[in-house]
A and B are shown apart, each in its own frame.
Chain A
């Protein structure tokens, strides 16, 4: 299907880019041919996002060139890249919540009628046509505010197609999607490919790459490592090239004899979000909360921890009730939550590493109500060291760290509170393979030390590899409680999708 002999639609040639003396990308080259889906992989911080931003016209390369259909191109801004037929779908959708879906799709190239005014009827009709082409039902007149992540991705794709883009760049589009939604997305991508578009596909999930892509470019530390046909590479080989070394075992699960029940959740409900959720977690046990995105898992754990309210139900730690809607009460009871969204919920990106690590314990570290700084520094130093976090100075803003090291700071912050119940929500999302293994080992160790671990995860290998027990949620309820011996991909997916497993 790949037309290697054709002129590449887009070619990256020997491109380099630095940010304040740090080289983000150096000497990177690869072509994108019409009719191919091309994977771009690498650990976080390998320079993929920088490549994406250069192709999008957000950043300009320091050296090297971009070629569009064989012609050298210089993008002064995103408008130029768009005009060259390049559409970018970012990991986090970039919609305008106040505008209608149709307006979002047409933004910047609205059809114009009399006196140059926008033909609003055509804007709506075109959006409706695009949606029917994509086989989805979204009201073009509704505001973008409140769309699910999956629907937002669909709108982004409609935007790209509507702009008749010939090159589609997708930066981890599946990170927040469920299996069904991923399939729907892939079907759309295949259609576009068959129509002659070139797709650059960035993902951390190898099964997606082998399923969808013809060729794969691997990057490491800002440099180009290789570009090969996907079928010529094994997953192990890809990982080896990404990491630059052989990996330790990904799921170092230790067998632990579970102790007494530590966390008890009883009949937890919140109108329209989840209902009658009950479960327990024992000391030393790792319980996974699986299910489709949108099934209410994160909402449940956030209500358990108290950052969200609940309408009814009880949460007990070691038999003592935890006050609803009050994280402080949960923390005092020995609970800790490593949230799903690291950038928004896990860390205060502009604050220093030190302040982030000690934030939950600022009160405990104070002497006579005062904080001198020394105590915080020692505490932060101790925990970041224990987790082997790589950083320059403890006073650097935490936002300057790589994704994996940021996640370690979040973990350090919560481990410093010596939790008896550790809730982790997508603990390894968006972090590189190496750090993933470290995080998994850490969870195992904590469980072995008697901590009750509750893990929300969308990655089935992680769930199967780490959990003693799998709770599967569907539409806001616990649909199944599967012990480790009976947990398989099939049993979990069946429970997660229920009757609709075969649609």
Chain B
């Protein structure tokens, strides 16, 4: 949810200035703060139960896993705020992971940045296919991306057949990137952070970003306001595809083993991360910060279950319950805000 919707009405009236002006305050809005608090409690509890949870290896695992999910969730958020959805991201991830894996396998000397760009390019093309079908075919995004979810996956299977790319077939330099760090921070994490910050600034501080929110908030008004709806839509889906492509390369780097099933079913986890992070499924509100934090929370939950020796089968159930909880809270806050706003209106001077 965006600033405007989750903020309780009282503070909207009294402190409207501060939360709007101070970027730090804006970043730490109610939803994001809630997730951070939940994260802290969860981490503290798990660590007390089992200090191994904060071991270097465990933290690294969580961060790497969360990075890939966060990159996907950021792309998804950009699409969802426009009142669309991209269900094809899991399949795009699988396709690019396999494609880039194959290319790297055949050209061991390929510089890493090139591999990353190649993945983004492949993903971007997939995203453009979605965009063109949504925009020019006038087909709802849910239908288009459900269709391309199948198609991209099918293409990957056709290409891969039953074969698998294993870690020993990939060059060392490619795989070792997962372990490399800058100032102690793994590169994968830095990439995810960079993506989140860039998307966050774009959505909040640039015209095109505000236009994306406007499109999701009231599509007809966006058209009448002269917003280039088609161009923006094309951009949003292309970015989502490109980020899914990037996530595919990161997936290949992290796991080393790639088959045609890579990323199957990820779309639901990605949507879950965004929704838990406060992105409204019907567009118009939500931030990439929230979505990225949502991704981190989901990853931490999964890992802490394992550490706490709780049956890991609970993870799915907890994610489901968390989604229901998150949208329930949003609903409650929105209803309360609406009531407060109405009251202020009804007793006008």
Q: Tell me if A94 and B207 are in contact (CB < 8 A).
A: no
**Number of contacting residues on B, CB 8 A?**
40
Residues of A within 8 A of B339 (CB): 272
Cβ-based interface call for B21 (8 A):
yes
CA gap between A81 and B223 in the complex, in Å = 12
List CB contacts (< 8 Å) of A115-129 with chain B: 116-118, 120-121, 124
Given contacts A107-B214, A141-B20, contact A273 B206 (CB under 8 A): no
Residues of A within 8 A of B343 (CB): 272
Interchain CB contact (< 8 A) of B4 among A88, A94, A98, A294:
A98
Cβ-based interface call for B285 (8 A):
yes
Q: Tell me if B214 and A96 are in contact (CB < 8 A).
A: yes
- A-B pairs under 8 A by CB, number: 118
Cβ-based interface call for B211 (8 A):
yes
Q: Tell me if B201 and A141 are in contact (CB < 8 A).
A: no
Cβ-based interface call for B75 (8 A):
no
Q: Tell me if A97 and B218 are in contact (CB < 8 A).
A: yes
List CB contacts (< 8 Å) of A459-492 with chain B: 475-476
B202–chain A nearest beta-carbon distance, Å: 9
Q: Tell me if A139 and B13 are in contact (CB < 8 A).
A: yes
Residues of B within 8 A of A319 (CB): none
Given contacts A99-B4, A143-B4, A145-B341, contact A78 B205 (CB under 8 A): no
CA gap between A432 and B267 in the complex, in Å = 52
**Nearest residue in A to B341 (C-beta to C-beta)?**
A146
Q: Tell me if B346 and A78 are in contact (CB < 8 A).
A: no
Q: Tell me if B346 and A272 are in contact (CB < 8 A).
A: yes
Residues of A within 8 A of B213 (CB): 96, 98-99
Q: Tell me if B205 and A117 are in contact (CB < 8 A).
A: yes
List CB contacts (< 8 Å) of B79-128 with chain A: none
CA gap between A143 and B3 in the complex, in Å = 9
Cβ-based interface call for A148 (8 A):
yes
Interchain CB contact (< 8 A) of B214 among A58, A83, A99, A120:
A99
B195–chain A nearest beta-carbon distance, Å: 18
Q: Tell me if B210 and A110 are in contact (CB < 8 A).
A: yes
Cβ-based interface call for A77 (8 A):
yes
Given contacts A79-B226, A108-B225, contact A96 B16 (CB under 8 A): no
Q: Tell me if B345 and A148 are in contact (CB < 8 A).
A: yes
Q: Tell me if B216 and A79 are in contact (CB < 8 A).
A: no
CA gap between A476 and B348 in the complex, in Å = 13
**Nearest residue in A to B344 (C-beta to C-beta)?**
A146
Cβ-based interface call for A420 (8 A):
no
Interface flags, B5-31, vs A, CB<8A=1, else 0:
100000011001100110000000000
List CB contacts (< 8 Å) of B296-349 with chain A: 337-339, 341-343, 345-346
Q: Tell me if A96 and B5 are in contact (CB < 8 A).
A: no
Cβ-based interface call for A56 (8 A):
yes
CA gap between A147 and B228 in the complex, in Å = 26
Cβ-based interface call for A90 (8 A):
yes
Q: Tell me if A77 and B20 are in contact (CB < 8 A).
A: no
Cβ-based interface call for B221 (8 A):
yes
Q: Tell me if B345 and A94 are in contact (CB < 8 A).
A: no
Cβ-based interface call for A393 (8 A):
no
Given contacts A108-B226, A117-B206, A121-B21, contact A94 B342 (CB under 8 A): no
Q: Tell me if A273 and B225 are in contact (CB < 8 A).
A: no
Residues of A within 8 A of B183 (CB): none
CA gap between A88 and B224 in the complex, in Å = 9
Interchain CB contact (< 8 A) of B217 among A81, A97, A121, A476:
A97
Given contacts A107-B211, A108-B211, A143-B4, contact A98 B284 (CB under 8 A): yes
Interface flags, A130-156, vs B, CB<8A=1, else 0:
000000000101110111100100000
Q: Tell me if B21 and A81 are in contact (CB < 8 A).
A: no
With a 10 A CB-CB cut-off, give which of A56, A99, A118, A272 has the most chain B CB atoms.
A99
CA gap between A273 and B337 in the complex, in Å = 16
The 4 closest A-B pairs by CB, nearest first: A79-B226, A146-B341, A94-B221, A98-B284
Q: A94-B221, A107-B214, A148-B345 are in contact. List 7 more A-B contacts (CB 8 A).
A: A77-B226, A88-B224, A107-B210, A110-B210, A118-B207, A141-B17, A143-B5
Q: Which residues of A contact B (CB under 8 A)?
A: 56-58, 77-83, 88, 90, 94-100, 103, 107-108, 110, 112, 116-118, 120-121, 124, 139, 141-143, 145-148, 151, 272-273, 294, 475-476
Interface CB pairs A-B, < 8 A, 17? A83-B226, A95-B218, A97-B217, A98-B4, A99-B217, A107-B211, A107-B225, A117-B206, A120-B20, A121-B21, A139-B12, A143-B4, A143-B5, A143-B341, A145-B341, A146-B342, A294-B346
